[in-house]
Amino acid sequence: MASSKMLLERGVRVALHYRSRAEGLEGLLQEYGAEKVALVKADVTRCDEVESAVAEALKPFLDTPGAKSLTRCLSAA
């Protein structure tokens, strides 16, 4: 969690995974807000949950001008 907090303090957006309880992570969400922190629940031993978790983790970050530009560049490649 220290690495996540360091990144957040530097303005980086983060997606944090948890399996069953997000207790320690919820404080970061409250402190930095949903525009900076995405909490994603998944059992990483299940492929379907991993796929859903990745999609869920990316969702809050893809609706930005920079992300839209990156998406267009990647689509064109």
Provide the residue-wise pLDDT of the chain in tens; the chain has 77 residues.
789 999 999 998 888 888 888 888 888 889 999 888 888 888 889 998 888 888 888 877 676 666 666 556 655 55
pTM over 0.75: no
Q: What is the pLDDT of residue 45?
A: 92
Q: What is the pLDDT of residue 52?
A: 85
How far apart, in whole angstroms, are the C-alpha atoms of residue 73 and residue 5? 30
Q: What is the pLDDT of residue 62?
A: 73
Cβ-proximal residues to 67 (8 Å cutoff; 6+ apart), any chain? 61
